[in-house]
Amino acid sequence: MKQKETLLNIRLNGDKIDLSDIVIDDMGDNHISTSVDTPMRKDAFELTDDQKVEAITKHFTAIMETLGLDLTDDSLKGTPKRVAKMYVKEIFSGLNPENKPHMAMFENKYKYNEMLVEKNISFYSNCEHHFVPIIGKAHVAYISNGTVVGLSKLNRLVQYFAKRPQVQERLTMQIGKELQKTLGTQDVAIVIDAKHLCVASRGVEDDTSSTVTAFYGGKFKEDKSRNEFLRYLEIKTEF
């Protein structure tokens, strides 16, 4: 144990520095993702949503007070409760599987066997490293193998997985794999283009860059289908 502590700690100008903190900070800035599944504790759903709101309200009150804010001020006194409700019932509601959209499937009676593309699906997520927004658009495509899904369900599926602390690579994979499972086909493609405020508003403070990730399954691994999908994304759809 002492050897491990020696490796993790150094002294600089007489001050002790924990190198593990440096490693953790670097992981966040280097955009590390640990798994396709969102990391969740086994007891994640033992509390009700209302109980979670109550607990987060207390914790956020402590955060604001630590920052030196006066919670007796009319503008601030309701903030902890508002933040707690927003976390549980809105921006992180995708953590709760009960909020997963019902993906109603239909027989492909009109025998449409070409690619279906739903593009420019707007979403808001939050970076799991700094809890600041990710703002982007998702483009979803699939080729039916006999069943189709309502168009709005594609939007809802994107938003469901976006409404949780996320890494864009994981978000892309989660949408793609869930759609493959739902449609019963590997022929699914996802492209996401997003701006990360953890890059734009802090750290390097680069407000012009965006991040693009992709998921290609089945026929979309072939150049012909993949290039067709990407050409559709170039079409201007202004109405």
Name the active-site residue from 159, 166, 168, 174.
168
Name the active-site residue from 107, 128, 234, 238: 128
Cα–Cα dist 86/53, whole Å: 9
Instruction: Given the residues 127, 139, 159, 166, select the one marked as catalytic.
Output: 127
- In this structure, are residues 200 and 135 in contact, taking their beta carbons and an 8 Å threshold? no
Task: From the candidates 139, 159, 174, 196, give the one annotated as an active-site residue.
Answer: 196
Phi/psi of residue 155, nearest 5 degrees:
-60, -45
Residue of 31, 130, 180, 228 marked catalytic: 130
Q: Can 59 be counted among the known catalytic residues?
A: no
Catalytic residue among 129, 159, 166, 174: 129
Alpha-carbon gap, residue 119 to 237, rounded angstroms: 10
Strand, coil or helix: what is 209?
coil
Q: Is 198 a catalytic residue?
A: yes
Task: List Cα–Cα distances, 51 to 41, 47, 65, 73, 162, in angstroms.
Answer: 17, 6, 22, 25, 23
Instruction: Provide CB contacts within 8 A for 221, sequence distance 6+.
Output: none
Interhelix angle 49-66/79-86, nearest 10 degrees: 130
Active-site annotation, residues: 127-130, 168, 196, 198
